[in-house]
Amino acid sequence: MKYDALAKEIVRNVGGKENVNGLSHCVTRLRFKLKNEALANTDVLKNMDGVVTVIQSGGQYQVVIGNHVPEVYAQVMSVGGFQEGAAEEGSGQKTSLFNRFIDMISGVFSPTLGVLCATGMIKGFTALFVTMGLITNTSGTYQILNALGDCLFYFFPVFLGYTAAKKFGANIFIGMAIGATLVYPTFSSTMATAEPLYTLFSGTIFESPVYITFLGIPVILMSYTSSVIPIIISTYVGSKLEGFFKKIIPSVVRTFLVPFFTLLVTVPLALIAIGPVSTWAGQLLGEGTLFLYNLSPVIEGLLVGAFWQVFVIFGLHWGLVPIALNNMAVLKYDPILAASFGASFAQTGAVLAILLRTKNVKLKSLSIPAIISGIFGVTEPAIYGVTLPRKKPFVLSCIAAAVGGGIIGLMGTKGYILGGMGVFGIPSYISPDGMDNGFYGAIAAIVISFILGFILVFFSGFKDEEVADGKSTGSPRSTLVKQETVGSPLKGQIRALSELTDEAFSTGAMGKGIAIEPQEGKVYSPVDGILTTLFASGHAIGITSDNGVDILIHVGKDTVKLKGKHFTPKAKQGDAVKKGQLLMEFDVAAIKEAGYTLTTPVIISNSGDYLDVIETEQKSIDYKENLLTVMI
């Protein structure tokens, strides 16, 4: 599999599958819930090829992968033997209430993000087509596209019932059944056509007509379509009841009696108490956020715009998602997240400036895909790979995003659909009445954020000679040589470094490379260069190629203890050597008889200086055959 090796290394370096309580993913990140984060090799993961960075926030251990995270996630799930929907066991680490809240919100909402964006884009473009006169709102085309775009948000309680049950370790179909009951169409038609039996809380803000009762208890019917808070709370309560019934019901009838009693208690409770109370709470939350927005939409826009990328880094943006969704359901629009719309464009403009100004080949190669991702609203590659390691461009992009947020606040821009990101999010700001000042404010904000981010970084400059690990890549050879081919110093069977028992090599701490199980006791030079290191024990050789690639050949494990016995050097430290030149001989049989293994790592010890180290796909190899390709 394409990501099999990466998945194995990720599982190994998060502390092994035994250290994993749960795993989910969003657009760019694997979100681990670990039993003990101290067991994870964070530095190794950060420097691993295929991993952008690691963030520990919100009670989660987040491994940032990039746009191909779904494929890596699937492979990690397979390698680790993790189960979809498996309950997360309690962690041995205590986390704050805020961290637990962020973890819960991300776990519930992140699985829906892809489809939520897709359906939102469809609805947004449908509104755009109507506004432009391409279709009418009475045509069959409109009805189908509108139904497709509206389906997830309309039936959101069903989808969230699934993800919430999964997050709370409950039966996912129980969660879906609770959500489906909340949006059951008969309840809506009853409210629209029937006469109320009586009214509760008359004369207060909670005044509610009662149309039906349950065992004589009044049921306050409400519209739960598009709602988020009632289903999450109801599913949480249902998960606790399910656990209770599992303990008291005999296993022989548990399969059907546990769901039976769980639903029989949870659903009436949801309709009678949880739903109305949480709906009122949601209405108050919506009015509260709108009140703060109305105090000064410009200041709100400046603050959200400025700090949005910081929120993304720590995963704190999930804390605003339920507020936005609640506003969509209650107010039919959201002004809060709208202020963040310019942030991805500010980040993209900053990276474009870096791309045009840098002379660093590696930085250019990182910037191009980051710009493409940023245009579509995914900024993690830009943040972690380009701007944040250089600090100043990141700060300047935040300033540009703040200006964009201020413009959005000034123009009264509101999001009417929680849809696509980046350029695909533009139709989300079209009012039901058409393109208004708010829509044009959104366009102005993203254009100005992009241009300002570009100008600030282009003319303010940045440290071009430094990359994320702080090592210089400014040497002339970086622009002259594209790759270095490292030949095989041994003849034998190929082994992955991850198979070695020596953690210094298996974790990649010594550098990227590969291992060989030698069939013969000879070591040849893999490149033209200088024999920079020859240990007195003869068991290890260091070579620096003419292009500056440092190669370490370490014959066997713990063979240093032989103190040179059974090893015969054929060259001296400091010698200029040629590719294919014999450097050393060793007695295979004698070393094995002494109780040592001879699996030999061949490591690029300065692999952090290069774009990539590509391993051979052969299972066995002969002297001088291509073993590793170093992308310079």
Concatenating the DSSP letter of every residue in 370-424 gives HHHHHHTT--HHHIIIIIGGGSHHHHHHHHHHHHHHHHHHHHT--BSS----GGG
484 strand-pairing partners: 630
Q: Are 450 and 596 in contact (CB under 8 A)?
A: no
Amino acid (one-letter) located at 476: P
Average pLDDT, the chain: 84
Identify which has the larger pLDDT, 282 or 17.
17
pLDDT (mean) for 65-82: 84
Look at 459-473, 531-545, 570-584 and tell me which has the smallest mean pLDDT. 459-473
Least confident of 1-5, 123-127, 328-332: 1-5
Q: Residue 605: beta bridge partners? A: none
Show the DSSP H helices in 83-184 as ranges.
97-109, 113-131, 140-154, 156-168, 172-182
For 477-631, which CATH class? mainly beta
Q: Check pLDDT > 50 for residue 87.
A: no
The average pLDDT across 37-42 equals 89
Q: Which residue has the higher pLDDT, 169 or 509?
A: 169
Q: Which single residue is written with the structure tokens 């920079």? A: 532
Query: Taking 50 as the threshold, does the pLDDT of residue 61 lie above it?
Result: yes
Between the alpha carbon of residue 187 and those of residues 152, 271, 376, the distances in Å are 19, 11, 40
pLDDT tens by residue, 187-224: 888 888 888 999 998 887 778 899 999 999 999 988 88
The CA-to-CA distance between both ends of the chain, in Å, stands at 26
pTM, two decimal places? 0.53
Q: What is the DSSP letter of 616?
A: P
pLDDT in the model for residue 149: 85
The stretch 11-31 carries a mean pLDDT of 85
Of the listed ranges 105-109, 210-214, 371-375, 610-614, the least confidently predicted one is: 105-109
Catalytic residues: 26, 554
**Once rounded to an integer, what is the mean pLDDT over residues 353-377?**
83
Determine the average pLDDT of the residues in 22-33: 80
Residue 160 CB-half CA count within 13 A: 31
Burial 156-168 (b: 16+ CB within 10 A, else e): bbbbbbbbbbbbb
Mean pLDDT, range 531-559, rounded to an integer: 87
Distance from C-alpha of 436 to C-alpha of 429, rounded to nearest angstrom: 9
pLDDT greater at residue 135 or residue 312: 135
Q: Are strands 550-554 and 600-604 parallel, antiparallel or unpaired?
A: antiparallel
Q: Phi and psi (nearest 5°) for 602?
A: -115, 110
CATH architecture for the domain at 4-86: 2-Layer Sandwich (3.30)
Helix (H) or strand (E) holding 241: helix 229-248
Per the model's pLDDT, the better-predicted residue between 318 and 140 turns out to be 140
Would you give the distance in Å from CA 337 to the centre of its chain?
20
Which has the higher per-residue pLDDT, 482 or 342? 342
Residue at token pair 């790592």: 601
pLDDT exceeds 50 at position 478: no
Measured in residues, the chain has a length of 632
**pLDDT for position 318:** 63
Is the pLDDT at 457 greater than 60, yes or no?
A: yes
Considering the chain, what percentage of its residues have pLDDT values greater than 90?
38
Residue pLDDT, tens place only, 402-452:
999 999 999 999 998 876 678 888 988 988 888 899 999 999 999 999 999
More confidently predicted of 476 and 277:
277
Q: Which of 121-125, 224-228, 311-315, 401-405 has the highest mean pLDDT?
A: 401-405
What confidence score (pLDDT) does residue 308 get? Answer: 87
Of the listed ranges 422-426, 587-591, 611-615, the least confidently predicted one is 611-615
**Structural Rg of the chain based on CA atoms:** 30
Residue 365 clears pLDDT 80, i.e. is over it: no
Mean pLDDT, residues 587-605: 91
Map out the domains of the chain as residue ranges: 4-86, 155-293, 299-460, 477-631
